[in-house]
Amino acid sequence: MAGGPPAPSIPVGSRVKLKGLTGTPYLNGAVGEVSGPPTREPETDPPRYPVRLLAPARAVASHPQGVRVKAANLDVTELPSLPVELRLTELQRAQPGPAGAGPDGARPLAPPFSPADAGPVAAAFVRALEEDQFPQEGLEGLFATQPPTDGKDGTTSGDLRRCKAGQLALGAWQELLQHRQAEVLTAAVRACGAGLQELQVALMCASIGGFDALRAVGGAKHGPKLAAAGEAVRSEFAAGLAAELQRGGLPEWFEAAVRQCTAARVVPGLAPPAYCPELCRRGFDGLTWDRQALAGLKA
């Protein structure tokens, strides 16, 4: 037996970041979730953890079945601290369970959802969009954003005609959010008396560095206003999704919003949409909505 203390175990469900990989260096920095206990394949190899990749989207698409990684190549990261950023199991355990759900009253660890789940579900999805992630399992079908299962990623070639429908839907959702952010930040930047160059910097910071970057670029005088504007967009967008989930019209709302974004005037400083036009060109063919789960969210 090998000497030295055993490496600390990583609990199933832990959020991890990959590091120090030499065979697949392009996965360094990718974020995933430990999906099971470590195993040795073959027995002479060090134990490796199965990891379901969550971000970036290209890593998810290239490894749809996940990866197996040694503990030395994993950094355990903290989940977001916002109360709306609940893991799916926590989201469902927080609701009263139906009769026969179990001795502790917990709901099953999978859908069905209830209308009370609409707000947390929408908030978690918006966070995934901001972090360039496919949503966690159980939420993908609610937004038609299933990752590809064949490992082919049309986004790497720049030819969106090769993308699977779920990839296009994820990109389109991101463009809808970015378009709304651009509209609001344009007004906020102009209210601060800034010009096009400052607007472009603000939009870049919002898409790459988030609201902390907006505070930095805006300085002591304008930073808080820009960050507040960006945070308001997030809340507004999530609230709109939650309302549509409860109304039962999210697929129809999504198609109408994508058509509107495609036809809209390009916001200065923001790249024109690409995923929305491609979805329109396809006539939204291939999108897979989990109608049963959506029905559970309808009020």
Q: What is the mean pLDDT of the chain?
A: 74
Lookup: tokens for 186: 């344009």
User: Which residue(s) pair with 67 in the sheet?
Assistant: 51
Q: pLDDT tens, 161-220? A: 888 899 999 999 988 988 887 777 777 666 766 554 555 555 555 554 455 555 555 556
Mean pLDDT lowest among 38-42, 165-169, 254-258, 276-280: 38-42
Residue of higher predicted confidence among 98 and 116: 116
**In 3-state terms, what secondary structure has residue 181?**
helix
Checking if the pLDDT of 148 tops 60, the result is yes
Tell me what the mean pLDDT of segment 277-285 comes to.
Answer: 95
DSSP helix/strand/coil, 75: strand
Nearest to 185 by CA among 164, 212, 204, 166: 204
Question: Residue 85: is its pLDDT beyond 60?
Answer: no
> Which conformational region is residue 237 in: left (phi greater than 0), alpha (psi within -120 to 50 degrees), or beta?
alpha
For the segment 123-130, the average pLDDT, to the nearest whole number, is 86
Question: Would you say the C-alpha torsion 49, 52, 53, 58 has a positive or negative sign?
Answer: positive
User: What percent of the chain has pLDDT above 90?
Assistant: 26
Domain ranges in the chain are: 15-76, 84-145+157-299
Tokens in use for 190?
């102009």
The span from the CA of 142 to the CA of 140, in Å, is: 5
Best CA proximity match to 198, nearest among 182, 218, 183: 218
φ and ψ at residue 50, rounded to 5 degrees: -75, 130
Whether residue 153 is predicted with pLDDT greater than 70 in this model: the reply is no
Whether pLDDT at 2 is above 50: no
Q: Which residue has the higher pLDDT, 280 or 161?
A: 280
With bands split at pLDDT 50, 70 and 90, how would you rate the model's confidence at 106? very low
Q: State pLDDT tens for residues 25-76.
A: 778 888 888 888 998 877 767 899 999 887 776 677 677 778 999 999 998 8
Say what the pTM is.
0.59
By the 8 A CB rule, do 210 and 234 touch?
Answer: no
Angle (CA) 76 79 82, round 5°: 160
According to the model, what pLDDT value does residue 132 have?
78
- Which segments within the chain are labelled E, that is strand? 15-18, 31-34, 48-55, 67-70, 74-76
